[in-house]
Amino acid sequence: MNRQACDALDAADPLASLREQFELPEGVIYLDGNSLGVLPRAAAERVQQVVRDEWGRGLIRSWNSAGWIDLPQRVGDKIGLLIGAAADEVVVADSTSVNLFKVLSAALDLQRADAPQRSVIVSERQNFPTDLYIAESLARERDLELRLVDADEITAQLDDQLAVLMLTHVNYRSGRMHDMAALTRRAHEAGALVVWDLAHSAGAVPVDLNAAEADFAVGCGYKYLNGGPGAPAFAWAHARHTARMDREQMWQPLAGWLGHAAPFEFTSPYRPAPGMARFICGTPPVISMAALECGVDTVLAASPFGGMAALREKSLALTELFIRLVEQRCADQGLTLQTPQEAGLRGSQVSFAREDGGYAIMQALIARGVIGDFRAPDILRFGFTPLYTRFIDVWDAVEHLRQVLESGEWREARFNQRAAVT
C-alpha cells in the first residue's frame, strides 16, 4: 500500500461524488465527524433562508406556511430511514441527554407497571458519561440500582432483577459495536427492556431498530448526521410501546405542550399526543432543526448508491486501512489499538490508547490540519465519515501521525496546554 494506491481507491470509489455536498476547509483532513460533522453546502443556504425569509419575512406565520410545526416529525421521518424506523416513529427534539431521560423514564414506567420487583438498570461502565448520569439521576429518584459492568459482563446481568438494559450501540471511546439484535433478544428473554443510544451509529453504521425489535432509542444530530453544532437529537420507541402508552394514557415525564394531544387548544390537564409525538416537549429550535435536516439529507443522498450498506462498506475499508497503516508505519510508538479488528464489531471510528502524551499528540496533529480528538484519560480518536473522507486522507493522516510521533514535536509546551474541549 502506498499513496498512489490510495489515490486509485478514491478514483474507483462509487461514493466519491458525495463529498461535493460538503464545505471542507482547505488544508484540513477531518477525522472528527464523530464529534461534529462537516458543514453541508445546502445547510448554509438553508439556514439563511430560514432566518431571512421564514423568520424575517414570514414571522409567526411561518409556523404554518414554512412548516416549522412539522419539523420534529419531518426530520424524524428522514432519520427513521437510516435506522430502520417506520414513518411517524422518530421525533427530533431537545438533546440526546434530555431524550434519554424521556425514553428511559418511559421504559422504567412500563416495567414498574409489569414487573415492579425489577429494580436494576444495567449499563456499560465505559458508556458515554451523559447516559450514565441521566440513568443515575433516574435511579436516585426512583430508588433503583444503576449497575455498571464491562461489555463482556452484560449477558450475565440479564436476570429477573433487570428492568432496563441501557447501552450505546457503538462505544464513543473504543468504537466497539454491540450486536443490537442478539442483545435485545437475550434481554427480552430475560424480561428486560433495552434502550439504545445511537449517537455513534445513526448515519455511521446500518441500524434496523424494528428488525431488532428494540424497545427505545435515542441519538445525536451533530455527529454522523452532520446537523451542525449542538443539533437537536432524536428519539424512537417501538410501536408496541407507543400503542400501549396510548391505550393506558401513559406519559413521559417531560410533558411539554408540543407533546400534548391538542397543543393549540391550550387546555389542562395534560393529554399525551398519540404515538411518538408525546416525546416532543417544548418549542423546537427551528434554525438548528433546519440545519439538521440538511445534514440528514447528505446521508440520504447515498441512497442511489446503495445507502447505508454502501457507506458501511466504505467505512470499513477506511477504518481497516487506517488500522493497517498505523500498525505498519507507527509501530513501536506506544499506540495500542482500542477498536476491534473484527469488522462486525467496529463502528466508524478507530481509537488508540497511549500511556502518555495523547492530548499533546492530538494537538500536534491538529496543528498540522489533521483533526481527530482526544478523550480523557488516554484515547486518540479518529472518526471516518465515508461521505467525505477519502482513502488519500487516510494515507496522509497516518503520515502526519508518523511524523508527529517520530519528530517528538508533540512534546512542545504549546501542545500540552489543555483547552476546555478537545
Residues designated as active site? 128, 197, 222-223, 381
* Pick 206 or 229: Cβ nearer a second copy: 229
CB 258 within 8 A of CB 280: yes
Number of residues that this document lists for the chain: 422
Q: Long-range contacts for 144-147 (Cβ within 8 Å, ≥24 apart)?
A: 144/108, 144/119, 144/120, 145/119, 145/120, 145/121, 146/120, 146/121, 147/120, 147/121, 147/122, 147/123
Q: How far is the CB of 336 from a second copy (least distance, A)?
A: 18
In the complex with a second copy, the residue whose CB is nearer, 137 or 161, is 137
- Shortest distance (Å) from residue 268 CB to a second copy: 5
Grid cell 476547509 is found at 25
User: What is the Cα–Cα distance from 363 to 400, expressed in whole angstroms?
Assistant: 12
Least Å distance, CB 317 to a second copy, is 24
Instruction: Output the DSSP codes for 254-271.
Output: ---GGGBSSGGG--SS--
> Three cell numbers at 311?
457507506
Residues 319/394, Cβ–Cβ less than 8 Å: no
- Nearer residue to a second copy within complex by CB, 192 or 362: 362
DSSP secondary structure letter of residue 37: P
Name the residue nearer to a second copy (CB basis): 12 or 421. 421
Q: Which is nearer to a second copy, 93 or 405 (CB)?
A: 93
- Nearest distance, CB of residue 8 and a second copy, angstroms: 28
CA distance 363 to 380: 10
Min separation Cβ 53 and a second copy, Å: 10
Contact 174, 341 (CB under 8 A): no
Dist. CA 88–CA 39, nearest whole Å: 27
